[in-house]
């Protein structure tokens, strides 16, 4: 069966299946509403446990979900190269439209492992969901930072931070990575983020939304920047991530603590798979491009225009310290987050 060690089943209470569609109404927006929604999800799903590894399960069926970016390329590569299979995992790696939908999907057991951004993960924990990172997926670096931008529609006359005041800006997830990072950039430039009207616009809809004039700008990244420019829908207004020049986690692989503790063999096999796949992502551009294009369903020539984000399985609780500080500054966290509990040992 590969490296996955069989284990004794763990009893669980029976209960109806719950759809991940709850996440459609759970936006990790700064403020009470986002936290309340997460807390409600925590209470709603508290009665449910997770299916245990059967002594006869060979291989273990594992549902993994990420958004349409290169950040989970290590999971894509592990599936496509048969690495998961060699470690005893039958991986179903699927696309989820909005990053803020990932924590409710994990809690509902619609998926067992998801790739939330650091900000979405921290807000979920702050909201009461008992989630834990089991491995790192991607980190910021100078190349990836340069591939992030605020793209303004033609005629919006946005050239620097102060020009965003009073404008409507579309973010692919309210409270997610690009949104929080942009708010931090505004603060650094002396602009109050509350003076900007943020709305949610998913990656696939950004070009058309800009072209229609429904928003003045969108927060996005390559290869979507190139797609928007090629369509004549807008131009880069700010490379805000490059200005901040951070090297912190972007996305981590996250599960419920209950699942991780009940299935240490699955976690071990998952980690081994990601550690084997990550160097391929970082070293073999052609394979990485093919894996990302297959997963995101974007044209491979478009994906090839930009390097996938750096895959980095290494992760420790202190890696989230800057994000916690930033989110506190933006009034996005209500409680105190224990960095020592964020990552499974």
Domains of the chain (ranges plus CATH)? Answer: 20-139+248-341 (3.40.190.10), 143-244 (3.40.190.10)
Beta-bridge mates of residue 256: 131
| Amino acid 57: pLDDT | 56
User: What is the distance between the alpha carbons of residues 199 and 186, in angstroms, rounded to a whole number?
Assistant: 16
Is the bond leading into 59 cis (omega within 30 degrees of zero)? yes
pTM for the structure as a whole: 0.78
Sheet with strand 113-114: strands edge to edge = 89-95, 60-66, 113-114, 249-256, 131-139, 310-311
Q: With residue 146 as reference, give the H or E element that holds it.
A: helix 142-146
The number of angstroms, rounded, from the C-alpha of 176 to the middle of its chain's C-alpha atoms is 8
Single out the residue of 93, 95, 99, 130 nearest to residue 26, CA to CA: 99
d(CA 212, CA 299): 23
What's the pLDDT score for residue 335? Answer: 94
| 3-state SS, residue 151 | strand
Percent of the chain at pLDDT above 90? 77
Q: What is the three-class DSSP state of 49?
A: coil
Q: Which residues of the chain have pLDDT under 70?
A: 1-57
C-alpha distances (whole Å) from 48 to each of 26, 63, 107, 216, 256 are 19, 17, 9, 43, 11
| Structure confidence at residue 46 (pLDDT) | 40
């Amino acid at each position: 069966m590969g490296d996955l060690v069989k284990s004794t089943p763990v009893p669980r209470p029976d209960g109806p299946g719950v759809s991940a569609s709850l996440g459609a109404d759970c936006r990790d927006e700064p403020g009470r509403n986002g936290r309340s929604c997460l807390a409600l999800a925590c209470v709603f799903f508290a009665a449910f446990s997770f299916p245990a590894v059967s002594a006869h399960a060979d291989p273990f069926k594992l549902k993994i979900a990420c958004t349409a970016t290169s950040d989970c390329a290590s999971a894509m590569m592990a599936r496509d190269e048969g690495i998961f299979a060699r470690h005893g995992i039958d991986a179903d790696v699927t696309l989820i439209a909005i990053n803020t939908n990932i924590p409710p999907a994990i809690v509902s057991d619609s998926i067992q492992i998801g790739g939330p951004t650091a900000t979405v993960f921290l807000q979920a924990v702050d909201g009461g969901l008992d989630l834990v990172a089991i491995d790192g997926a991607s980190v910021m670096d100078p190349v990836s930072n340069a591939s992030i931008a605020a793209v303004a529609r033609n005629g919006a006359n946005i050239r620097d931070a102060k020009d965003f005041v009073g404008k409507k800006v579309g973010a692919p997830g309210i409270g997610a990575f690009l949104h929080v990072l942009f708010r931090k950039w505004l603060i650094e430039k002396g602009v109050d983020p509350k003076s900007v009207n943020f709305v949610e616009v998913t990656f696939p809809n950004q070009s058309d939304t800009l072209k229609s004039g429904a928003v003045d700008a969108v927060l996005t990244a390559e290869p979507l920047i190139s797609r928007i420019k090629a369509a004549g829908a807008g131009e880069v207004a700010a490379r805000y991530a490059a200005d901040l020049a951070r090297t912190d986690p972007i996305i981590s692989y996250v599960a419920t603590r209950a699942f991780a503790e009940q299935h240490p063999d699955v976690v071990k096999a998952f980690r081994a798979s990601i550690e084997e796949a990550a160097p391929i992502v970082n070293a073999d551009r052609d394979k990485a491009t093919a894996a990302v294009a297959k997963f995101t369903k974007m044209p491979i020539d478009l994906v090839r225009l930009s390097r996938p984000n750096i895959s980095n399985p290494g992760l420790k609780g202190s890696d989230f310290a800057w994000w916690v500080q930033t989110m506190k500054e933006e009034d996005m966290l209500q409680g105190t987050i224990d960095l020592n509990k964020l990552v499974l040992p």
